[in-house]
Amino acid sequence: MKEDKQTTYREAVREGIRNAMQKDDRVFLMGEYVGRYGGCFAVSKGLLEAFGNARIIDTPLCESAYTGAGIGAALNGMRPIVEIMTVNFSLLALDQIMNNAATLLHMSGGQFNVPLVIRMSTGGGKQLAAQHSHSLEGWYAHIPGLKVLTPATVQDAYSMIESALNDPDPVLIFENSLLYNSQGTLDTNAKPLPIKKAVVKRPGNDLTILAYGINLFKALDAAEILEKEAIDAEVIDLRALRPLDDETIMNSVKKTHRVMIVDEGWRSGSISAEIMARINEQAFFELDAAMGRVCSAEVPLPYAKHLEDAALPQPVKIAAMARQIMEDA
Amino acid sequence: MDIESARKFYSQMLLIRRFEEKCIELYSSRKIRGFLHLYIGEEAIAVGVMHALSAEDAVISTYREHGHALARGISAKSIMAEMYGKVEGCAGGRGGSMHLFDAKRRFYGGNAIVGGGLPLAVGMALADKMMKRDRVTVCLFGDGAVAEGEFHESLNLASLWQLPVLFICENNYYAMGTALEFSESEVNLSKKAAGYRINSFQVDGMDVTQVAESAKNAVEDIRSGKGPVFLECLTYRFRPHSMFDAELYRKKTEVNAWKDKGPLVTFKKTLEDKGLWSKIKAQEIEDEITKTIDDAVTFAENGTLEPISDLEKFVYSPEEAQ
């Protein structure tokens, strides 16, 4: 693939997988509909033809067993990529992810690491109601032993596949289903950024907006609105929820002295709560105003479009929260 | 049966028995803590199954796995040190009784989530099949696991993909305190496996020679590419589920009836009938085992406590590997 071509997020993930499979015959893809159907979001379309059914494996609907099989294969020398359709379905595999993938290295006294990558879609916005739309990546970020990546950009959608496969421990990648059609530039020769590296996407001086996944773009839209009101927002793409890049976060807080977080998870016990706690612990005296956040409403996501829109973070809500923080003397 | 096999079977079963009797003593004197799930009564299965494996094969086990670990060749010293929570333990003191691991012996752990090891076994075997390695993965679990969804999902995958897995169901008739008849609509568990088109057999789990023979045949079939095999080994746990079990759910008469059919007494009788009993020199075996266990306790007592500064080690692989 040439540099700087406009690529969709979907193609970027696919090319990331293709690249990894070409380089390393231990890599394989396993999940529901990844082969003959071409992937439930068409991510793996064409990979069955390219690599055959021994490496692009259609599984029955048994999230727990095929995720556990991914762990077993990883223990036995492979580099599996397990695809789970949505984060809501991953709950059927939570036992394997939490009780095996995350614990085996520690429980075995360092003898057995699990080099497994699990990809799944996340997030609302497609009117899929309360069993297909949630954002539970913050839950997974609670678990020691896991790494949690949230690629927002086309470049990260591609590069994070390689970063995750190079990691000796289990890595979960959360792809917002609304991002699959988004476009951006992709440099397949770019060296992947370290997993633990948040990126300042829009430098600013007045306040910091921390976001990840699709909400990065909502935050950038909000920054456009705020710019017209002479509020200069700095927008940071967290990229990973575990580990969190405390250094980049605190450096920005030290610069702007005002901070808010956009988090599509529910606010109670959320990753945004964790980030606020860390800022409180590490940079409290840098703050000129109380921290703020925009999260999803604490309801199972509804089907009706106007209700779903109201439940999710939106640029206008982010801008409103930013104004409130700026007004706080 | 030759004298050598007879001696090996008897001494391994007796080692497991005496090791666990020592564990009860140490638990009562609070030297070891946590949960302690004893295998006493079920020794023939571990010994028979492990006898059928090569060093290259892999084992995935449960939280009642002292016997599996000992029969697989993990030393009594490193298991006892693990129970003591010492660095010299086979999981560095991180796992305890329920989570014994040994990479050298391809022992992938006691898994304490009932049914949780079955998907791992499927994946291990999938990797071997993909890489065209001549290896078998043995997965041990109890009758309780049969009620779990992971049992059914895993048997389906293993059969669908024709994977080299040997499923060993240790049916001791009780899932903790619930009898099989209150758990299962079909109490013949091998029939359930057969429903997934897996070659399935019921085996007398009290008879070490029968277990060894069945496991050997199963492993040969699996190696020759005939797909997974399921052995339901009928057995009985002589001791309570754990040290906290008042055994309200079963009668003493039932326990005693099973003890009369126990693996050590029946094997002794078999050897007597064959005129081999006097030849294996049982007292010599007993003395060797006493010494092995005394040494293991001394080793564990003298073991090292890991410094608390190492607490967060092994949550992730070392930085240089990342």
Mean pLDDT by 10 residues, chain B (322 residues): 94 98 96 95 98 98 97 98 98 96 97 97 98 97 97 98 98 94 95 98 98 98 97 96 89 95 97 95 97 98 97 92 72
Nearest to B127 among A60, A77, A169 (CB): A77
pLDDT band at A2 (very low <50, low <70, confident <90, very high): very low
Instruction: Show residues of chain B in contact with A96, CB under 8 Å.
Output: 116, 119
Full set of structural domains in chain B with CATH: 3-301 (3.40.50.970)
Among this protein's residues, is A132 annotated catalytic?
yes
Nearest to A169 among B93, B111, B317 (CB): B317
Model pLDDT, residue B253: 95
Subunit contact B116:A95, Cβ cutoff 8 A: yes
Q: Each residue of B149-188: pLDDT tens digit?
A: 999 999 999 999 999 999 999 999 999 999 999 999 999 9
Instruction: Show residues of chain A in contact with B141, CB under 8 Å.
Output: none
Closest among B90, B103, B8, B28 to B58, alpha carbons compared = B103
Res A1 pLDDT > 60: no
Among this protein's residues, is A63 annotated catalytic?
yes
Confirm or reject contact between A52 and chain B (CB < 8 A). no
Q: Each residue of A130-143: pLDDT tens digit?
A: 999 999 999 999 99
On whether the CB atoms of residues B127 and B202 are closer than 8 A, the answer is no
Q: DSSP letters of B119-156?
A: HHHHHHHHHHHHTT----EEEEEEGGGGGSHHHHHHHH
Look up tokens 């612990």; give the residue: A281
Subunit contact B101:A100, Cβ cutoff 8 A: no
- Say how far apart CA A11 and CA B60 lie, in whole Å: 39
Subunit contact A110:B58, Cβ cutoff 8 A: no
Q: Of A25, A100, A111, which to mutate for an interface test with B (greatest number of B Cβ within 10 Å)?
A: A111
Helix (H, G, I), strand (E, B) or coil at A244: coil
Q: Each residue of A31-75: pLDDT tens digit?
A: 999 999 999 999 999 999 999 999 999 999 999 999 999 999 999
Instruction: Show residues of chain B in contact with A111, CB under 8 Å.
Output: 91, 101-103
Q: Each residue of A195-221: pLDDT tens digit?
A: 999 999 999 999 999 999 999 999 999
Subunit contact B95:A76, Cβ cutoff 8 A: no
Full set of structural domains in chain A with CATH: 6-185 (3.40.50.970), 199-323 (3.40.50.920)
Subunit contact B126:A72, Cβ cutoff 8 A: yes
Subunit contact B123:A75, Cβ cutoff 8 A: yes
User: Which residues is A211 bridged to in the sheet?
Assistant: A237
- Say how far apart CA B145 and CA B117 lie, in whole Å: 10
Mean confidence (pLDDT) of chain B: 96
Tokens of B205: 């789990």
Nearest to A76 among B102, B116, B128 (CB): B128
**ipTM > 0.85?**
yes
Res A275 pLDDT > 80: yes
Q: Each residue of A303-314: pLDDT tens digit?
A: 999 999 999 999
Instruction: Show residues of chain B in contact with A147, CB under 8 Å.
Output: 316
Subunit contact B157:A62, Cβ cutoff 8 A: yes
Q: Which of A11, A32, A83, A132 is catalytic?
A: A132
Closest among B251, B286, B280, B258 to B268, alpha carbons compared = B280
Cα of B310 to nearest chain A Cα, Å: 11
